[in-house]
């Protein structure tokens, strides 16, 4: 009897848990809290160490930058109101906004910026996240509270761009932390002293960070009182949370998730221009800086004719349609379309559209005769043209792309052996050169220097056991010359011209066959949040690339209307609880009758 009563009580409690509206969620829906999904889990809020996107989302909200990326990605004023470059292009002088105060009331001056930059330049631990950005800085000084002077060792056109990435910290708080910087995570004592649209006021380990609006922010306090950045380890759970109103925004949706949300009236869907490409990298021959070869890549891929034939055999438009459900742009140039100033499309004479017939002709002409089973024979090695194709086993789109590639390359007499590997396995196979074709993906910030740099000869490994940053062992001295030139092009028009030439070289080399640029698919709870996105959609309906900090800064709550979410819970949940109780009662009565029967 007692046991059954306990059971019934447990069932009731469970039903009640489902019915009770969560206390905080109901107050949050009153429009004071903006809840967004973080891009990754949280590791550290120490701006000198953080390089995971989720950590950076929080850090850029609570620490200031010398300059910030404007809506078009170009550097715009933040702590600096304006800047000038000396005639020899070696000295950058920034004028710093006056009258700013850290969140603890201490004045924020040029000295804080100089201190932060110097620490990154001199202390290798402080340089963990952004050390390479200041590698060519000779000195950073603050002659007075409103002037910052950066001197570089060589002319460098992207200093203002680099400043959009390096967070500045208050010297009076961080000076004592330098000794133990590697172990300091900045996750336990709140509020965190900083300056930005938000103040970091709380963090629940591995779950979410809470930020509060900074009333003293120079551009005006955000409309929301509180910002919660929450981590979901499963994107489907995040989508479920968005649908039920537990989240206000998520990004990085898959095409399938995006399509599944199309009918939901409370949501607005926004595809934004891509800053990422997906490509097939071809191993042109693994070699060290000094030229000694290693790895077991198929030598046929060193032949430009084979690479060109592969490029012509791939139908990139179809991949966009089938894999991305049309939410992307088919690939060509090396830099993705998010930053229109660097967007390059090949001229008609150079364009390599889907043309298997031409691909077959090229291979025929180069002496790759058709062998048994429809696989061509390499005239040099006398072996059939069989390439290993490494794909990420943890990346759904790779799995979708692979069968198309197998079929398309089979049509030109190349056999493809698909090998699914984990992200870490693939990454470790890459520098060893033990591969033929690999799926890879890179993204870029508004300053393309880093993405361009991974194709320079300098990224080849020093020796076979130390990996370099190269992705396909490409090395072309003319490309390197152009790379160095674009670093010293101080007029944007001039830099665009140089970068166009670099992209043209890469396109013709066919080492990174760019398949497509996938849109970043975002969804916002427009029933509760307005003005989250900026810019207007282009002809394809894609919005310009967005910056989280700017989105959160301008988002406003929709005028509160009682949406009865919790009432619905009660209305429908109470009958369910009642049904559970009645069913339990009936079962109990039946049991009693049966035991009574057994007793006789």
Partner 1 sequence: MTAASVPASGVSAASGAVEFFRYLAKKLAGAVLSFAVLLVIGFVIFSLMPSDPLEALTRGRPTSAAQLAFLRKQLGLDQPVIERFGSFAWNTVQGHLGYSWQFQEPVSTLIAQRLWPTLLLTGSAMVVSAIAGLWLGIRSGWRPGSLLDRGASGVSLTFWSVPTFWLGLILLVLFSVGFGPVPPLFPAGGMSTPGTAGGLALSHILDVLRHLVLPCLTLSLVIFAQYVTIMRSSVIDELGSPYLLTARAKGLRDADVRRRHAVPNALLPSVTVIFLQLGGLVAGAITVETVYSWPGLGYLTYQALQIPDLPLLEGTFIVFSASVIVMNMLADIVYRYLDPRVRRQ
Q: Between 29 and 360, whose beta carbon lies closer to partner 1?
A: 29
Q: 192 in helix, strand or coil?
A: coil
Burial of 589 (0-12, 13-18, 19+ CB in 10 A): exposed
Considering the complex, what minimum distance in angstroms separates the CB of residue 229 from partner 1?
A: 9
| Cβ-Cβ contacts under 8 Å for 388 (sequence gap 6 or more) | 298, 417, 419, 435, 436, 437
Task: Give the shortest CB-166-to-partner 1 separation in angstroms.
Answer: 12
Q: Which structure tokens are listed for 290?
A: 């000094």
CA torsion sign, 483 to 484 to 489 to 490? positive
Length in residues, the chain: 600
Q: Three-state SS for 87?
A: coil
Report residue 363 as tokens: 């291979």
CA distances from 564 to 20, 29, 30, 87, 556 (A): 13, 11, 12, 65, 21
154 close to 98: Cβ distance less than 8 angstroms: no
Ramachandran bin of 111, using left for φ above 0, alpha for ψ from -120 to 50, beta for the remaining angles: alpha
Exposed (0-12), middle (13-18) or buried (19+): which is 150, by Cβ within 10 Å? buried
Cβ closer to partner 1: 422 or 540?
Answer: 422
Rounded to a whole number of angstroms, the minimum distance from the CB of residue 169 to partner 1 is 17
Q: Among residues 35 and 376, whose Cβ is nearest to partner 1?
A: 35
Q: Which is nearer to partner 1, 233 or 561 (CB)?
A: 233
User: 490 and 89 in contact (C-beta within 8 Å)?
Assistant: yes
State the minimum distance, in angstroms, from the CB of residue 366 to partner 1.
34
d(CA 539, CA 340): 14
Residues 518, 537, 161, 105: what is their CA dihedral angle, to the nearest 10 degrees? -110
Non-local (6+) Cβ contacts of 313 within 8 A are 354, 356, 359, 408, 409, 411, 412, 414
C-alpha to C-alpha distance for 132 and 318, rounded to whole angstroms: 39
Minimum distance from residue 240 beta carbon to partner 1 (Å): 4
| Closest distance to partner 1 from the beta carbon of 559 (Å) | 21
Closer by beta carbon to partner 1, 73 or else 413: 73
Between 205 and 536, name the residue whose CB sits nearer to partner 1.
205
Of 88 and 598, which has the nearer Cβ to partner 1? 598
CB of 123 to partner 1, least distance (A): 11
Structure token digits, residue 94? 């920034």
Q: Give the pair of three-digit tokens for residue 274.
A: 């891509």
Min CB(241)–partner 1 separation in Å: 4
Whether the bond between 191 and the residue before it is cis, its omega within 30 degrees of 0, is yes
Report the residue number, 108 or 228, with the smaller CB distance to partner 1.
Answer: 228
Query: Smaller CB distance to partner 1: residue 237 or 357?
Result: 237
* Minimum gap (Å) between residue 23 Cβ and partner 1: 5
Residues 6 or more apart whose CB falls under 8 angstroms from that of 271 comprise 258, 327, 519, 520, 521, 522, 541, 542, 543
Shortest reach from residue 4's CB to partner 1, in Å: 12
- Which three-class secondary structure string do you get for 338-366? CCHHHCCCCCCCCCCCCCHHHHHHHHHHC
CB-side neighbour CA atoms (13 Å) of 257: 23
Q: Which is nearer to partner 1, 95 or 443 (CB)?
A: 443
Cβ atoms 518, 443 nearer than 8 A:
no
Minimum distance from residue 24 beta carbon to partner 1 (Å): 4
Q: Which residue has the tokens 């003319």?
A: 478
Listed in sequence order, the residues at least 6 apart from 361 whose beta carbon sits closer than 8 Å to its beta carbon are none
Nearest distance in Å: CB 420, partner 1: 15
Indicate the DSSP class of residue 175.
G
Answer whether 472's CB lies under 8 Å from 294's CB.
no
Give whichever of 27 and 86 is closer to partner 1, judged by the CB atom: 27
Nearer to partner 1 by C-beta: 219 or 572?
Answer: 572
Nearest distance, CB of residue 205 and partner 1, angstroms: 5
Query: In the complex with partner 1, which residue's Cβ is closer, 376 or 525?
Result: 525
Q: Least distance to partner 1 from the beta carbon of 154, Å?
A: 15
Using the minimum distance from each CB to partner 1, give the nearer residue, 223 or 261. 261
């Amino acid at each position: 009897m007692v046991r059954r009563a306990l059971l019934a009580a447990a069932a009731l409690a469970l039903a009640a848990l489902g019915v009770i509206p969560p206390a905080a969620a109901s107050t949050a829906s009153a429009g004071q809290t903006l809840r967004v999904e973080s891009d990754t889990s949280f590791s550290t809020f120490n701006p000198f160490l953080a390089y995971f996107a989720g950590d950076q989302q929080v850090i850029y909200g609570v620490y200031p930058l010398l300059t910030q990326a404007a809506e078009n990605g170009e550097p715009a004023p933040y702590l600096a109101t304006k800047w000038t470059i000396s005639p020899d292009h070696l000295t950058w002088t920034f004028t710093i906004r006056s009258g700013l105060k850290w969140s603890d009331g201490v004045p924020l001056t040029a000295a804080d910026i100089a201190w932060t930059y110097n620490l990154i330049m001199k202390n290798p631990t402080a340089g963990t996240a952004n050390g390479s950005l200041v590698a060519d800085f000779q000195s950073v000084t603050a002659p007075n509270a409103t002037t910052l002077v950066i001197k570089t060792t060589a002319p460098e056109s992207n200093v203002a761009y680099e400043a959009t990435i390096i967070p500045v910290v208050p010297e009076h708080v961080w000076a004592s932390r330098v000794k133990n910087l590697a172990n300091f995570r900045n996750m336990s004592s709140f509020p965190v002293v900083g300056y930005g649209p938000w103040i970091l006021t709380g963090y629940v380990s591995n779950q979410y960070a809470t930020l509060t609006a900074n009333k003293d922010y120079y551009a005006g306090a955000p409309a929301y009182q509180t910002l919660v950045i929450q981590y979901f380890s499963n994107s489907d759970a995040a989508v479920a949370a968005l649908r039920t109103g537990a989240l206000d925004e998520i990004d990085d949706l898959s095409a399938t998730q995006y399509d599944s949300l199309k009918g939901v009236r409370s949501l607005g869907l926004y595809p934004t221009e891509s800053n990422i490409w997906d490509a097939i990298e071809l191993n042109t021959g693994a070699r060290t800086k000094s030229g000694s070869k290693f790895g077991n890549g198929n030598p046929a891929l060193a032949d430009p004719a084979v690479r060109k034939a592969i490029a012509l055999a791939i139908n990139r438009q179809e991949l966009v349609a089938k894999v991305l459900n049309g939410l992307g742009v088919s690939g060509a140039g090396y830099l993705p379309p998010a930053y229109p100033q660097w967007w390059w499309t090949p001229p008609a004479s150079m364009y390599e559209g889907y043309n298997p017939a031409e691909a077959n002709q090229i291979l025929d002409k180069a002496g790759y005769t058709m062998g048994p089973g429809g696989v061509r024979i390499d005239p040099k090695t006398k072996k059939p043209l069989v390439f290993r194709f490494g794909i990420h086993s943890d990346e759904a789109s790779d799995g979708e792309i692979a069968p198309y590639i197998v079929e398309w390359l089979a049509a030109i007499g190349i056999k493809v052996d698909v090998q699914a590997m984990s992200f870490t396995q693939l990454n470790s196979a890459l520098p060893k050169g033990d591969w033929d074709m690999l799926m890879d993906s890179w993204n870029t910030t508004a300053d393309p220097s880093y993405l361009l740099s991974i194709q320079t000869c300098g990224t080849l490994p020093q020796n076979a056991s130390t990996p370099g940053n190269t992705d396909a062992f490409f090395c072309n001295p003319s490309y390197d010359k152009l790379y160095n030139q674009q670093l010293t092009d101080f007029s944007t028009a001039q830099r665009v011209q140089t970068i166009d030439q670099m992209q043209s070289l890469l396109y013709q080399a066919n080492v990174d066959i760019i398949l497509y640029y996938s849109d970043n698919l975002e969804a916002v709870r427009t029933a509760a949040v307005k003005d989250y996105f900026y810019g207007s959609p282009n002809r394809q309906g894609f919005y310009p690339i967005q910056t989280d900090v700017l989105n959160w800064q301008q988002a406003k709550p929709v005028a509160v209307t009682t949406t009865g979410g919790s009432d619905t819970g009660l209305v429908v949940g109470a009958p369910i609880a009642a049904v559970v109780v009645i069913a339990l009662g009936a079962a109990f009565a039946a049991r009693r009758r049966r035991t009574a029967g057994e007793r006789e």
